[in-house]
Amino acid sequence: MKIIYLDCIAGISGDMMLGALVDAGADSNYIETELLKLPVSPYSLTWNRVNKLGISSIKADVLVDPDSPPAHHTHYSDIVRMIRDANLPERVTTRSLAIFERIGIAEGKIHGLPLEKVHFHEVGAVDSIVDTVGVALALESLQIDSIWCSPVPLGYGTIHCAHGIYPVPAPATLEILKGIPLASVPIPKELTTPTGAGIVSALVDQFHISLPSMTITSIGYGAGTRDLKERPNVLRVVVGNPEQASETIHDPHAHSHSHDHNHGHSHSHSHDHDHSHSHSHSHSHSHSHDHDHQEDS
């Protein structure tokens, strides 16, 4: 079994998670190719190596074509249909739908709407759809079977969104994270977004306050948009195999043990990550991009 541990030292958002997974070895070409199956408005997906308080990390950005803005709100049912009809790998479809369901239920409760009538200002935009499905594709590229996570910091203060000035954490974010271990980090910014909260709530199997017992095979850092003065604004992901308790201490120099490093895809990029490539995918479909939230944790 292959596991991944999400070390949320500065929160979590969709773009931070996507960048971290690619930095850990997920095949960006596979992700981009599979994303072409989604009938969304034209966009470009870029990967750039940045530095956050001394930590080199990958910043994933979804840039919507300004000449083809989405024309209307995207409803939950539209997103479900889009993902189900895209002929994505089964586990990718299941994980993507689970994330959007958690977000949709929370948004519906906050706004007093049934799930099927929820329309997405913050998470219905092209960038959040690409981030969410991209994360599910990246997990599949790495062949991750189980997702573990640290307690989640949220930040505090206020944020401007489509409905006006809202508290941090946003009401939907807090609703999604009911029952999830939280970490008190007194930074006056939004550290965890609704998409990040949805990823944690829908996909995480176990929570650990520190790294669990595991043999590490790769590590990745995904950057948020902001530069925080208090700590690096990155999400760290740690990929590996869980260690089972036994009387024998693992000998790192012995060659008899076997670790499954088969990610299921050939990773042609070599971790120097110049990440200068940008792809614009031309689609004629349009969706609402009333997206003041920006997923810019």
Q: Would the pTM count as exceeding 0.85?
A: no
Looking at the domain assignment, is residue 36 inside a domain? Answer: yes
Domain that holds residue 225: 3-242
DSSP-derived 3-state class of residue 57 = strand
Tally of domains within the chain: 1
Indicate whether 259 pLDDT > 60: no
133 vs 18, 76, 82, 117, 293, CA distance in Å?
10, 14, 11, 22, 18
DSSP state of 53: T
| Local confidence band at 75 (pLDDT 50, 70, 90 cut-offs) | confident
- More confident site: 247 or 157: 157
DSSP state of 97: H
Query: Which two structure tokens, joined as six digits, stand for 215?
Result: 């043999």
Cα four-point dihedral sign 177, 64, 29, 225: negative
Instruction: Give me the amino acid identity at 204.
Output: V
The helix (H) or strand (E) run that includes residue 56 is strand 55-64
Residue among 107, 203, 189, 104 nearest 153 (CA)? 189
Looking at the domain assignment, is residue 266 inside a domain? Answer: no
Looking at the domain assignment, is residue 288 inside a domain? Answer: no
How does pLDDT run across 215-227, given as a tens digit for each residue?
999 999 999 999 9
Indicate whether 150 pLDDT > 90: yes
Average confidence (pLDDT) over 103-107: 94
Indicate whether 267 pLDDT > 90: no
Share of the chain above pLDDT 90, in %: 68
Looking at the domain assignment, is residue 294 inside a domain? Answer: no
**Residue 71: predicted pLDDT:** 52
Which of 64-73, 81-90, 263-272 is the most confident on average?
81-90
Looking at the domain assignment, is residue 281 inside a domain? Answer: no
Looking at the domain assignment, is residue 279 inside a domain? Answer: no
Looking at the domain assignment, is residue 283 inside a domain? Answer: no
Looking at the domain assignment, is residue 198 inside a domain? Answer: yes
